[in-house]
Amino acid sequence: MNSTFFIAKRYLFAKKSHNIINIISIISAVGIAIGCAALVIILSVYNGFDNLLRSFYDTETADILISPAKGKVFDPALTDYLKSEPFVESYSEVLEENVYLM
């Protein structure tokens, strides 16, 4: 018999006159098992909802993202080039910046 199961059997199902200790040990072990199971289930459901919501908002993600090597804005020659190319269906210029609002 494995030593872990031997110790668990000895303390959970002992044949002594102090039977209340066995009952308290069983109740606490069941409480911990239920708490762990609930935590696993809640985190799994949250992970599923997170993936679902990301799939709703990810439909408008660009196929190609072009960002400047230096600075924050593009050279106007690049926008003229994108307008003149026939394989570019549409493009959008976005300026992103980190700000602190009070």
Per-residue pLDDT 10s for the chain (102 aa) are: 688 888 777 776 766 666 777 788 889 989 999 999 999 999 998 888 887 777 777 666 667 777 777 877 778 888 888 888 888 888 878 777 788 888
The whole-number pLDDT of residue 32 equals 95
The whole-number pLDDT of residue 53 equals 78
- Residue 28 burial (C-beta neighbours within 10 Å; 0-12, 13-18, 19+): exposed
CA dihedral 81, 87, 89, 92 (to 10 degrees): -40
pTM of the model: 0.43
